[in-house]
Structure 1
Amino acid sequence: MLATAGTFLGTAASYCCCMACRCAQKNIFARSARAGYCVLFTLAMVLAWVMRNYAKPLIEKIPWVMSHAAADDSKWFGQQGAYRISLGSFIFFALMSLIMTNIKYKSDWRNKYLQHGGWGIKFALWLLFLIIPFFIPGGLQWYGWVARFGSGLFLIVQMMILLDATGLLNDLWFSKSEENPKYMYLLLGVTAGCYIGTVAMAAVGFWIFKPSGGGSCTLNILLIVWSLLLTVGFSLMSVHPGATNGSLFPASVMSAYCMYLCLAALESEPRGECNGLENKAESASAMFFAMMLTLGAVIYSAFRAGSNTSTFFTTSEDGDEPTEKPLLEGAEAGTSAGLDGEDAKAPEIQKASRDDKEGRAMDEFTPVTYSYSFFHAVFALASMYMAMLMTSWGTGDGSALIDVSWASVWVKMGSQVVTALLYCWTLVAPIVFPDRDFS
């Protein structure tokens, strides 16, 4: 009787899941492929967190993995679980990136059946790729080294997107201020807000990461002072007469971002006497909140990176005019683009594309608005970054905390230095190469 009831409930649950997937495909994922892939990545990150904390009972039952186990260390089991989920997610998105290579027009069958359709098959393949790494014998320390390299690339992508977005916003608001002075007030307000926020973050850093007890926290003070010096340097360089494309708005945004990276690095410091957040971070609620912040940051970076390929390359039919669209083009036109990056059309064109078959057929031969291959490549790199966050950059330290280790501290500070160098290069490059167009 109980077995029959269990079978019935299992069948009903499977039917409900299938109907939910079919409904999601028709109503959500078909309209916005990015939302679907963000859901898959979110599920992968949640699974990686679960495996990071509770993988030991499962991995102990896998003999080809246990033969290389590092004694009875729960950190090793958690690291292996997170690595394997991350590897499966990386394989899925890397394969999608290869399949979606060189899609230029919506008439390409891959646009309809692979990028925006076939969600049932893609979900099954995604599950399969998450399971396959658990059949790989031995440890996956080699993947940890590969993931470190991929995570570094992801951080560089994130920095370049921020640089490009601040430049576009500065040009957009400044050009609109000639017609409407409110944009100039907005530009000045955001600039002042970023500078005030930078100083406030520095003050909070001195308060939270100050010496306590018998510990010496000189390193923390030096890192905060260094970040403040970057703020001064950015500001002076941006207003220098030689910096033809300099502006205080990008300088203020980059100053705030660099100070944020400094505080994020100090937050990852494992020394309890110099980290005022360590004891609070050990609570379950604080750990859950930290994971949600990490998840949101990674998804946001990958989501925006997929739509802003103009930062890295431009493509065209004849090699002269770019077909990739800037991140803010929809905002500049005074329209609102869809979640999937489709062009915001005039109302009459939208209506024709919905109601008229001929309009839909013509729409299929318009160029795609972002690089599908690059979008999936960013998610593949984000999958590697996910593994580094869950395992404290492969050190296995701090099993109760997320992203707490000296490796994480120096990776974030290294990211700050690279960000500063990239921004300084945007100011110096037009002077070093005056014959090139950096607009």
Structure 2
Amino acid sequence: MDGQHDGPPWRRHRTDEPHHPRLPWLSTGLITAFVLGGSTFAAHAQQGERTALDPAGRALLLVTCLALLARRRHPVAVVCGTAAGTLAYLGAGYPYGPVFLAVAVACFSAVVAGHRRAAWSAMAALWAGHVLLAHWLYRWLPPSGDSAEPWGQELVIAAWVVAIVALSELARTRREQWARERAERAQAARRRADEERLRIARELHDVLAHSISVINVQAGVGLALLDSDPEQARTALTTIKDQSREALGEVRQVLHTLRAPGDAPRAPAPGLDRLPELVDQAAGAGLTVEVEGKPPRLPPATDLAAFRIVQEALTNVVRHSGSRRARVRLARDGGALLLRIDDDGPATGADAGGSGNGLAGMRERAAALGGTIEAGPRPDGGFRVLASLPLTVRHAEESEEEVEDR
């Protein structure tokens, strides 16, 4: 039972209970006062032409206007009720005035709420009913001796009806457009959040996979030499300590963006200028790395991606290759940086075929910059990772979060 609701009780009731829109007291009160005041003024102006506005007529106007309180919860019933109340008021022969305002507001609310046919039908019934009252039923209805209304007046009323419906449709269209724009903005925000989570996941994977692989190898060396060569075991433990401290620092830097996304990073993002550190760390894990070529000046995003790709490739050599030697070649090919990481194999792990999360992360990094990654066994044995990264990053493909993190 306790697991059925999440969050504190003062927040649960807001989502567990059905939402009902608040009653529009203020607008309804203003409309009611205007209709009653305007009708009273119209009664004085039309004295002798229409039936005097008595308490029954005022009560009918009041009930018709107060029905607008429910226009958000029950728009169809309100538009039909206000149309019927307005017809009853006119059928009783009471003076013309702002009597159509209530049904106009009800029609607007119904159309905006999506009940277009009901609103159109109510307005059409109102106009048709007024035609019957003014040109046929007036003989039997008050005031006595009344004559038929001119058809020009019916055209004016029809024009008002069309204008009310058109304005309601325009408001509905604008609201739907605003709703779509809000949904698109929310979707874009979710997409940016997903991209940021993916970026952080890649960073954590690259940092932890490399560091833990080095620590694992050094721990094995330390255990193997603990009795026979204590000094070498001490060196392995020192490497473990340094590597773990560096990994913790990078993990804190990545996680800091989650706690304070608006703050600038405390340390610059790693790049190929730290390639000698990777070589030293690989040497501590028993892997000799030969580096050929120097990288050109790179954009920060490309520099970070290149560093992580080399880091992940060397980590895979440590974890999945029987070779203790790897070669890293850096070259420029037109507008792209070429990275090639080779080892002579043979493969020793179940994930050495190139289907692990690390290779997927490398491909995602390259694709995000418009580059490519090829990874697989070489014809002569061993394994090769070949990356092509653009030297200029297209602005449209850079997110604001990546720029801020740099």
Place the TM-score, normalised by the shorter chain, in its bin: under 0.3
The higher radius of gyration belongs to 2
Q: Going by fraction, where is helix more abundant, 1 or 2?
A: 1
| Larger relative contact order (Cα-Cα within 8 Å, sequence gap ≥ 6) | 1
- Please report the TM-score for the alignment, with normalisation by the length of structure 1: 0.21
